[in-house]
Structure 1
Amino acid sequence: MSNVEAEPVELLCGPGSPDGPVEVISPRAVPLGGPRAMTVRRTLPTRDRSMVGAWCFADHYGPDDVSVSGGMNVPPHPHTGLQTVSWLFEGEIEHRDSAGVEAMVLPGELNLMSAGHGISHSEVSTAATTRLHGVQLWVALPDSAREEPHGFQHHAPTSVAVSDGVTARVFLGALGGEFSPVITATPLLGAELIIAPRTRTSLAVDPSFEHGVLLDTGAVSVSDAALAVGDLAFVPCGAAELELHNPSPDPARLILLGGEPFGEDIVMWWNLVGRSHEEIEQFRAEWEARTGAAEDPGRFGTVPGWNPEDALPAPPMPTTRLKPRKRRN
C-alpha cells in the first residue's frame, strides 16, 4: 500500500539489534462465556503494551476438548475500525457475517474480515470438531481505511523453509522470500513458524517493523529470553534478525507478528475500535438500536441464519471516560 499523505509522520527506529531488549508478555486467562466457556490466553492488549505494529489484540486458545469446554459459540456481535485474523491449528469454525459471507475457518488457512465502517459476524465451532486450537487476532485500521466498506479475504499458504531449521506459512506480508497476496491497510507480517528440535537460528526480518513472537507449543527463546506457552515476546523496531532457539528434542510452533509502528492513538472497547469516547458511545448506541429489518440494515446489518434477538448485547459503557491507547516505545 502506498502512503499518499502530504506530510507523513516520521517514525524513528533506533539502530537496534537482535541482542536488544526483548519484552516478554505473559497472558491472562479470559473466559468467553458461561460455566462451560472456552478460556483464552490474552497477551494484547495489556496495560503496558497495547500494540505490535497495527496488531492490537491477540487471543491464543486450546488445544481444548470441546466436549468439556463447549467449544466456540459466539453469536452475532459488531466490529468497527479493525480487521479480524482467524488462524487455526486444529478444529473447524463456521464464520457468518452481515455482508453475506459464509466461510469455514480451517487449520493452516487464513480468514481475514475487514470491519471498516461496521460489520457483525458470528463464530461457531462445527459439530465435527473434537479439539479446538488456534489464535484470534485483530489489526487496527488507520484513519485512511477505517471508514471503508467491509470485506473478506481467504488465503491458504504453503509451508516453505525461511531459515535453517525453520519452516513457515506466511499468511500476511513477506518473510524469507515468501509473499502473501492478502491486502492490508498498513505493512504487516503474520506467519506460523515451525522450529526443528535443537535448533538455533537467525531469522531475517524487516528492521522497520516491531515484532511479536507468540509461543504455541514447545520451548523457545527469543534473543535468550525464554518463553512459556502462550507468552508473547515483543521486539522493538531496529532488529534485522530474530535470534530463535529451540533447545528441546521436539519441534516448536510460533506465531510471528510484525508491522511498522502504528502512528495513531486508538480507543478500543469491547469489539469496537474508534478514536474517541464519543465515537465508541455512538457505535454502541447504533448496535443497541438496530432493528434487524432488511430495509434498515444500519451500520452493522444482520447475520443470516440467526434471529436478531440472539445477538450479543453490548455491555454498559464504563463509568469513567475511555482514553486512547497511546504508543509505548
Structure 2
Amino acid sequence: MHHPPIRLLIAASGTGGHLFPAIAVADQLQDYKIEWLGVPDRLERELVPAQYPLHTIPVEGFQQRFGLGTVRILGRLVASILQVRRLLKTGQFDAVFTTGGYIAGPAIIAARMLGLPVILHESNAIPGKVTRWFSPLCTRVALGFASTAKYLPKVNTAYVGTPVRSSFQSPQKLELPIPEDVPLIVVVGGSQGAIAVNQLVRQCAPAWFEAGAWIVHLTGEKDPDAQSLQHPQYVSLPFYHNMAGLLQRANLAVSRAGSGSLTELAITQTPAILIPYPFAAEDHQAFNAASFATTGAALVFRQTELTPELLESKVLHLLQSPQVLQTMAQKTADLAVADSGVRLANLVRQLVETKPSKLNVHEQVP
C-alpha cells in the first residue's frame, strides 16, 4: 500500500545560526514533503533552497518595553498564529520542526492548536525566551549543548548537538590564494559581522604579518572601514560561502560565539579565541563560549576587557606554540557531534512516524 510522503513545515528564520541547522535536517529528510516558514526580507530568502516552498508571516520579536509598539507586535503575533494554523490545516501537514527565534512562537502555538507534534531545536547553551516560554508545548526539545537540560527541568529534551552544512562533512578546497606553508588566522564575526572585533584585528594585524601569518578577515556588510587595511598577506571579504574550506585550512580563528560558529569550529577542529557578542539576548554567547573555555578548547575574552595589545600577544603566543594549538584542536574536536544532522532527523522521524514513546527526559539520542 502506497503512503503519501510525510508533510513537514520547518520554521526557521533570520540568521545562519537558525537556518543552517534547519537546512541540514531538511537534507536528511529528502523523502518528506517539506515547506518553509519565514519572515519577509530575512536571510531565508537567500539561503533556503528552491525546492522548499517559502511562506512568510509578519511576526516580530519582543525586544522592547511595553507600549504602543507592543500592542502592534501582539496583533501581528495573533495574525501570524491564525495564518500558520490555516497553512498547516489546508496543507495537511503532519508536524512542525523549528530552530527557535521569534518565528517559533506562532508555529508552535498553531501546531498544538491542531494537535500536531512539534520538535524544537535549541542550539545555545542557555535557552532563549522563546524556548523557555514555548518548550513546554513542544513534543520534544532537541539540544545543541547537553548542559542546557538543566535550564529546562520540566521539558522532554534530547541532546543531539547542532547540525552543520553538508560541506563540513568532507574536505573542501580553498579557492583563496593562501600559500600552503603559512599560518592562517581567520577572523569571523558571525552572519551579522562584528565591527568592534574588526577594529581590534586591524590594529593587531601588522604584528601578525611580521610573524609570517596571513589573515582572512570576514568583515560583514556593515563595516565602513572594511577596505581600510591593504596588505599582501591580508584578504578582506564581507562574507565567504566556503566556510568549511576556510576553517579546515585555518590554524586559528578569532570569532564571535554564536552556536553555529562554535559548531563549525568544533567540526573542523579549529582552535579559537572567542569574543562573545556583548549585546546578545540574555548574554547567551558568553554561555556558549564558556562551554569551550572550561574544556580548554578556546580562549575567551569579554569585548570590554580585550585591548589590541592583549589580543596581539595572545595570537602571537598561540602561533608560536604548535603543541598548544594541537591540544586546543583536540579539545575542540571532543565537543563536536559529527552526525548531529542524522540524530536530529532521526528524532523527527521517531516522533512523526510512530506513536509518542516513553523515552526518558533529558536523554541522549544515539
- TM-score band w.r.t. shorter chain: under 0.3
TM-score after normalising by structure 1: 0.27
TM-score after normalising by structure 2: 0.25
Higher strand share: 1
Higher helix share: 2
Q: Which has the higher contact order (CA 8 A, sep 6+)?
A: 1
